[in-house]
Amino acid sequence: MDSAPLIRDEEVFLRMNLAERIQHWLLISTFFFLIVTGLPLFFYDVKFFKLLLPTGRSFYVRGIIHRVAAVLMIANLVWHLFYAALTRRGRDNFKEMLPRWKDVKDAIELFGYNVGLTRFLQRRGIGKKFFQKHPYWLFEKHPLYGRYNFVEKFEYWALGWGSLVMIFSGFFMWNVELSLRLFPLWVHDIFIIIHGYEAILAFLAVIIWHMYNVHLSPEVFPMSKVWLTGKITGQELRLLHPLEYEQVLEERRKTLSAEAL
């Protein structure tokens, strides 16, 4: 057994299959176009957008691109929902994505581990008794993740919630007459505010949170290639998704012992 490890570091695992990657590519491109064609409305005074949309005609085309991108993004979302419901892999991934109490703990533990304040206090001899009794609060170990860590789960569900809000408010902004047949003007005003600020939140979250985790983080810098190839190595699986690694290992041990019998 020791001579041939069950998971070699060079072994290739499929993290994102083609369908998942296409969904991600579609999401990136529609998100990009929605942001570029939407932000000018929010930052109408910024020179750059004035250069981007020099005429009333281009402003009109901007609106069309925005709506086409929106429809494509919704179609992508519907595809993803069917995919998550109707395929085995989709269902498995979706189950893995479900938020658990562990994710909250992971977030706290990671932050505590990164900051290291409690370890610092302990070294200084502060709260010795407390830490002897509750060594958990020293956060001496990095939390261990399964297939999806709390960062990825947060992104996934933020995207889901954000999409709902944007689709709902955007639909009524697209159909002003319908909206104002159903709601008074002050409600329609809320849709407009929500659509704009939710977009800003999504944009900032992606730029800051997602870009750090998949590009700038020293772990993956300059870029994680999973979104292109869909593959990760056995080593990456062991380091980044230790619980999933353990699971695979366990399964292989079982098959091996079953074979041996």
Residues of this chain that interact with another protein (CB under 8 A) are 40-41, 44-45, 49-50, 53-60, 110-111, 113-116, 176-177, 180-190, 192-194, 197-198, 200-201, 204-205, 208-209, 212, 216-219
**In this complex, which beta carbon is closest to another protein, that of residue 12 or of residue 205?**
205
User: How far is the C-alpha of 172 from the C-alpha of 193, rounded, in Å?
Assistant: 12
- Tell me if 33 sits within 8 A of 66, measured CB to CB: yes
The CA dihedral of 196, 198, 201, 202, to the nearest 10 degrees, is: -110
Minimum distance of another protein from residue 229's CB (angstroms): 24
- Whole-angstrom CA distances from 83 to 60, 77, 160, 172, 229 are 35, 10, 15, 28, 20
CA torsion, ordered 44, 48, 54, 57, to nearest 10 deg:
-60
Helices (H) and strands (E) in the chain, counts: 14, 2
> Least distance (Å) from another protein to the CB of residue 154?
10
Q: Which is nearer to another protein, 101 or 186 (CB)?
A: 186
User: Smaller CB distance to another protein: residue 44 or 168?
Assistant: 44
Which one, 113 or 227, has the nearer CB to another protein? Answer: 113
Nearer to another protein, 20 or 198 (CB): 198
Residue 251, classed as helix, strand or coil, is: helix
The nearest distance, CB 157 to another protein, in angstroms, is 13
For residue 86, the minimal CB distance to another protein (Å) is 33
Task: Estimate the share of the chain in helix, then strand, then coil, as percent rounded to the nearest 5.
Answer: 75, 0, 20
**16/199 with CB nearer another protein:** 199
CB of 155 to another protein, least distance (A): 11
**Distance in Å, CB of 29 to another protein, minimum:** 24
Q: Distance (Å, rounded) from C-alpha 188 to C-alpha 57? A: 26
Q: Which is nearer to another protein, 87 or 213 (CB)?
A: 213
Distance CA(39)–CA(239), nearest Å, equals: 39
Distance, in Å, from the CA atom of 45 to the CA atom of 39, rounded to the nearest integer, reads 11
Rounded to a whole number of angstroms, the minimum distance from the CB of residue 73 to another protein is: 21
Cross-strand bridge partners of residue 233? 12
